[in-house]
Chain A
Amino acid sequence: MAQATSSPPDIIDEQAPARRSYNSDAAGLGRLRAGMFVAPALLLIAAFLVFPALWVLYLGLTNYRLTGIAAAEPQFVGPANFLDAVSNPVFWDSTWLTVQFVLGSAVIGQVGLGFTIAWLLRDRRGPLKRLVEGLVILAWILPSAVVSFLWVALLDRDGGTLNALLGLPGFAWLLDHPMLSIIIFNTWRGTAFSMMLYGAALGNVPPSHLESARLAGASGWQQLRDVVFPHIRGHILTNLLLISLWTFNDFTPFLITAGGPDGRSEILAVHVYKVALQSGELGYGAAVSTVILLINLVVAVFYLRLLRSKK
């Protein structure tokens, strides 16, 4: 952006009004003005998004702590935190739990359920479609602090509605099956996005292709496999990458199980919070954040490449 503010076209613009209509600077915004328009946004992005991302790379290499001497003057310790992480079983447990969380709730749960709902309702109009979609979207838009508590109540061992309905008194969802609980919860909460995306994507599958497949005697599954899936493959891929990214970074499970019991639902997002801000090991937490950042980067680059190749 630096060159934009110092380049001359602003002056040229003033001196040669006849050229203006041919210029791409339609509103007579010179580059100087354009730079001024962009600057406030870039300043905030630099301060509160880019800087933290770069700073976390450095903090991960220090022994920075919340309290004590290393709080005031953190020392550079090199890759020590990363070595600690790879030799820490909790880190690997967290990583494995995160994989379960992403695969279970995003890949299988949200994509599977989102597609199923979109497919079931594909030819429908009217109240039933609106009701189902409305409820799914409601789960998505309600504040996480509220819906997470709704699930705590629903899954409670002794007084929860689910055990009463299923006739399973004493089944300890949150204590004995914390991962299953948050996977089901996140499926419930996040399916709306996939449902809407597949609803739109299915609208673009030419009905004539489906019709001819049906006439040729293809079963429902064959129609899906040979007509629908090839047609919406791009949507499925981008959807998978995007919701995996969101789920990977989702902190909401903390509101349900706080990572427990005994760290058995301590996914990486929760792990960072616990080690950094509860135990005060900020340097170590920053190192784990660095790992998260790098994984995010890889997934996001794939996602953007897919988006570009579609256009």
Chain B
Amino acid sequence: MTARFVAGRIGFYTLIAVLLAFFTIPLLWLATAPFTSDPTYEVAVPDFTWENFQAVVEHPYALPSLYNSLVLSVGTAVLVVAMAALAAYALSRVRMPGRDALLYALLLLSSIITGTAAMVPLFQLAVELNLIDSQLGLILILTGGLLPAAIFMLKDFMDSTPKSYEESARVFGASPLQIVRHVVVPLVRPGLATIAVWAVANVWGNFLMPYLLLSDVEKQPAAVITYTLYTEGGQANLRMLSTFGLLYSVPVVLMYLFVSKKYGFRFHGGIKR
């Protein structure tokens, strides 16, 4: 029994060690190369230089692309939250004919129409509507893609909040929009925050749509700039690439830590597209 127990412990820790190695080793490069003066592909102990960060700051497109990522993700998140909140509220509180069918259709849409399935028509649509190289156009397209899942998640959330506050606000003569702003929004704030973070994370990491629809390098977000940094000229600039990759990654990690601390990390069926 004890021999078996010991063997089990050894097996357990061996497996954990292998798993830790599998998940850690690919990340080591991102943690070390930015601080190494002349990084190679192989992970090495850094000599702790800050020169690479200097190079990123001086690069003409690096920091602007992070700003572009911010514009795209915050813009999309604001639109998604505002529109999904209104729609989810109405769908949660009013019995409309065909509501359940609509919700079912939304859930279905959000899972079947992906960038891969829709890239040709979206590209054509962007050309026809003059939305190529338009950040606003991209924001609208991304919003359209995220809305079904957002509405679905928020409706679930709103269904579980009490209606009595809204009724008393109504008695005091508040308009529906006032009720939404002053009664509903405070009640469902955690749900709204979850949707906002989910939308930001989705757009922050999105590569395909901006790659397809933004050809002007000054408008491209960090995802596209990262890709062009390592494909241009065949020889990747490892100092730039590692350092920029780290800067581009930090915001999502901070956001994740913030969310899991504040709300506990609950995940929803459609969190990733």
A272 to B108, CA, bound (A): 22
User: Is B20 a contact of A249 with CB atoms below 8 Å?
Assistant: no
* A63 CB → nearest B CB, Å: 13
* B139 CB → nearest A CB, Å: 10
B90 touches which one: A24, A38, A137, A145 (CB < 8 A)? Answer: A38
A186 to B5, CA, bound (A): 34
* A106 CB → nearest B CB, Å: 13
A160 to B25, CA, bound (A): 11
A29 touches which one: B93, B109, B122, B248 (CB < 8 A)? Answer: B93
A139 to B116, CA, bound (A): 22
User: Is A40 a contact of B86 with CB atoms below 8 Å?
Assistant: yes
User: Is A37 a contact of B122 with CB atoms below 8 Å?
Assistant: no
User: Is A41 a contact of B84 with CB atoms below 8 Å?
Assistant: yes
- Say yes or no for B141: interface residue by CB 8 A criterion: yes
Q: Interface centre among A27, A42, A113, A276, by most B CB within 10 Å?
A: A27
Given contacts A52-B125, A277-B119, contact A132 B248 (CB under 8 A): no
Given contacts A33-B176, A37-B90, A273-B119, contact A55 B125 (CB under 8 A): yes
A152 to B86, CA, bound (A): 44
Given the complex, which residues of A lie within 8 Å of B95, measured CB to CB? 24-25
Given contacts A40-B86, A143-B252, contact A117 B113 (CB under 8 A): no
User: CB within 8 Å of A: which of B216-231?
Assistant: 222-224, 226-227, 230
Which of B27-35, B47-55, B56-64 forms contacts with chain A? B27-35
Given the complex, which residues of A lie within 8 Å of B227, measured CB to CB? 145, 255
A143 to B256, CA, bound (A): 13
Which of A82-90, A208-216, A222-230, A297-305 forms contacts with chain B? A297-305
Given the complex, which residues of A lie within 8 Å of B20, measured CB to CB? 131-132, 135
Given the complex, which residues of A lie within 8 Å of B269, measured CB to CB? 242, 307
- Say yes or no for B111: interface residue by CB 8 A criterion: yes
Given contacts A26-B163, A144-B205, contact A282 B120 (CB under 8 A): yes
User: CB within 8 Å of B: which of A48-96?
Assistant: 48-53, 55-56, 59, 64
Q: Interface centre among A1, A20, A138, by most B CB within 10 Å?
A: A138
User: Is B167 a contact of A27 with CB atoms below 8 Å?
Assistant: yes
* B99 CB → nearest A CB, Å: 9
The proximity string for B residues 110-135 relative to A, scoring 1 for CB distances below 8 Å and 0 otherwise, is 01111111111111110000000000
User: Is B119 a contact of A50 with CB atoms below 8 Å?
Assistant: no
- Say yes or no for A18: interface residue by CB 8 A criterion: no
* A172 CB → nearest B CB, Å: 14
- Say yes or no for A234: interface residue by CB 8 A criterion: no
Q: Interface centre among B119, B123, B148, B256, by most A CB within 10 Å?
A: B119
Given the complex, which residues of B lie within 8 Å of A28, measured CB to CB? 170, 176, 179
User: CB within 8 Å of A: which of B84-109?
Assistant: 84, 86-87, 89-91, 93-98, 102, 104, 106-109
- Say yes or no for B15: interface residue by CB 8 A criterion: yes
* B43 CB → nearest A CB, Å: 5
Given the complex, which residues of B lie within 8 Å of A171, measured CB to CB? none
B116 touches which one: A41, A42, A292 (CB < 8 A)? Answer: A292
Given the complex, which residues of A lie within 8 Å of B136, measured CB to CB? none
Bin chain A's interface residue count: 35 or more
- Summed over the interface, the residue pairs from A and B with CB atoms below 8 Å come to a total of 295
User: Is B144 a contact of A29 with CB atoms below 8 Å?
Assistant: no
The proximity string for A residues 154-167 relative to B, scoring 1 for CB distances below 8 Å and 0 otherwise, is 10101111101100
- Say yes or no for B10: interface residue by CB 8 A criterion: no
The proximity string for A residues 1-34 relative to B, scoring 1 for CB distances below 8 Å and 0 otherwise, is 1011000000000000000110011111111011
* A154 CB → nearest B CB, Å: 5
User: Is B121 a contact of A286 with CB atoms below 8 Å?
Assistant: yes
Given contacts A29-B176, A138-B27, contact A277 B123 (CB under 8 A): yes
- Say yes or no for B208: interface residue by CB 8 A criterion: yes
User: Is A300 a contact of B167 with CB atoms below 8 Å?
Assistant: no
Q: Interface centre among A64, A140, A159, A289, by most B CB within 10 Å?
A: A289
Given contacts A21-B167, A139-B27, contact A246 B124 (CB under 8 A): no
* B208 CB → nearest A CB, Å: 5
Given the complex, which residues of A lie within 8 Å of B157, measured CB to CB? none
User: Is A49 a contact of B109 with CB atoms below 8 Å?
Assistant: yes
Given the complex, which residues of B lie within 8 Å of A24, measured CB to CB? 93-95
Given the complex, which residues of B lie within 8 Å of A286, measured CB to CB? 120-121
Q: Which B-chain residue is minimally distant from A196 (CB atoms)?
A: B267
Given contacts A27-B170, A276-B119, contact A193 B147 (CB under 8 A): no
The 29 listed contacts between A and B (C-beta, < 8 Å) are A25-B95, A27-B167, A41-B84, A42-B87, A45-B106, A48-B145, A49-B144, A52-B122, A55-B125, A138-B23, A138-B253, A139-B23, A140-B272, A141-B205, A141-B253, A142-B253, A145-B224, A149-B236, A154-B26, A161-B29, A164-B42, A188-B26, A193-B271, A249-B114, A273-B208, A277-B212, A286-B121, A289-B116, A292-B116
Given contacts A50-B113, A246-B273, A251-B207, 11 further A-B contacts (CB under 8 A): A3-B97, A27-B163, A34-B96, A42-B87, A49-B109, A52-B121, A53-B113, A143-B223, A249-B114, A286-B120, A300-B108
Return the 9 tightest CB-CB contacts between A and B, nearest first.
Answer: A48-B144, A159-B41, A37-B90, A26-B163, A52-B121, A296-B112, A34-B90, A27-B166, A34-B94
